[in-house]
Amino acid sequence: MKKRIALIPGDGIGPEIVDGAVKVLDALCDKFNHEFEYITVDAGGVAIDKYGEPLPKESLEKCLGSDSILLGAVGGKKWDTLPANLRPERALLALRKELNLFANIRPAVLKKQLNSASPLKNSVIGDGLDIVVVRELTGGIYFGDRKRESETAYDTERYSVAEIKRIAKVAFETARLRKRHVTSVDKANILASSQLWRDVVSDLHKDYPDVELNHMYVDNAAMQLVTRPSQFDVIVTSNMFGDILSDLSSAIAGSIGMLPSASLGDNTRGMYEPIHGSAPDIAGMDIANPIATIVSAAMMLEMSFGMTKEAKAINNAIDAVLDAGYRTADIYSEGTTKTGTVKMANLIAKEILK
Ligand code: IPM
Ligand code: MN
Pocket of ligand 1 (CB under 6 A): 89, 92, 243
Q: How many helices and strands in the chain, by DSSP H and E?
A: 12, 14
Q: State the average pLDDT over residues 66-73.
A: 98
How far apart, in whole angstroms, are the C-alpha atoms of residue 275 and residue 71? Answer: 10
Q: pLDDT value at position 272?
A: 98
At residue 105, does pLDDT exceed 80?
yes
d(CA 240, CA 140): 7
Q: Is 19 a catalytic residue?
A: no
Angle between helices 341-353 and 14-32 in degrees, nearest 10: 10
How many residues comprise the chain?
354
Asked if 138 and 166 count as a contact pair (C-beta separation under 8 A), the reply is no
User: What's the predicted TM-score (pTM) here?
Assistant: 0.96
Mean pLDDT of 20-37: 97
* pLDDT value of residue 342: 98
Quote the CA–CA distance of 4 and 171 in Å, as a whole number. Answer: 28
> Among the atoms of ligand 1, which is closest to the Cα of residue 137?
12
Order of all β-strands in the sheet with 36-40: 36-40, 3-10, 68-73, 270-274, 260-264, 103-109, 130-136, 234-237, 181-186, 212-217
Cα–Cα–Cα angle for 76, 82, 84, nearest 5°?
95
Report residues near ion ligand 2: CB below 5 Å: 243
Q: Is pLDDT above 80 for 279?
A: yes
Contact 186, 241 (CB under 8 A): yes
Name which of 272, 249, 306, 314 is nearest 103 in CA terms: 272
194-197 LR contacts (CB < 8 Å, sep 24+): 194/238, 196/159, 196/161, 196/164, 197/159, 197/164, 197/238
Ligand 1 atom with the smallest distance to the CA of 273 is 9
Q: Which residues of 265-291 are buried (b: 16+ CB within 10 A; e: fewer)?
A: beeebbbbbbbbbbbbebbeeebbbbb
Nearest-atom number in ligand 1 for the CA of 74 is 6
Report residue 124's pLDDT band, with 50, 70 and 90 as the boundaries: confident
Substitution site in 55, 69, 87, 89 for ligand 1 pocket (most atoms within 8 Å of beta carbon): 89
Identify the bridge partners of residue 215 per DSSP, sorted by sequence position: 184
- Tell me, what's the pLDDT at 306? 97
* Active-site annotation holds for 281: no
Mean pLDDT score, 211-223: 98
What per-residue confidence (pLDDT) applies to 128?
Answer: 80
Judged against a pLDDT cut of 80, whether residue 6 lies above it is answered with yes
Mean pLDDT score, 85-110: 96
187 counts as catalytic: yes
Minimal CA–CA distance to 126: which of 118, 134, 136?
Answer: 118
**Rounded to an integer, what is the distance from CA 249 to the centroid of its chain?**
12
Residue 288: predicted pLDDT: 98
Q: Sign of the C-alpha dihedral, residues 44, 237, 252, 311? A: negative
What is the percent of the chain with per-residue pLDDT over 90, rounded to a whole number? 91
Q: Which residues, 6 or more positions from 329, have their beta carbon under 8 angstroms from its beta carbon?
A: 287, 289, 338
Active-site residue, from 186, 233, 243, 330: 243
How far, in Å, from the CA of 245 to the mean position of ligand 2?
Answer: 9
DSSP secondary structure code for residue 159 in this structure: -
Q: Is the pLDDT of residue 93 over 80?
A: yes
C-alpha 90/C-alpha 240 separation (Å) is 16
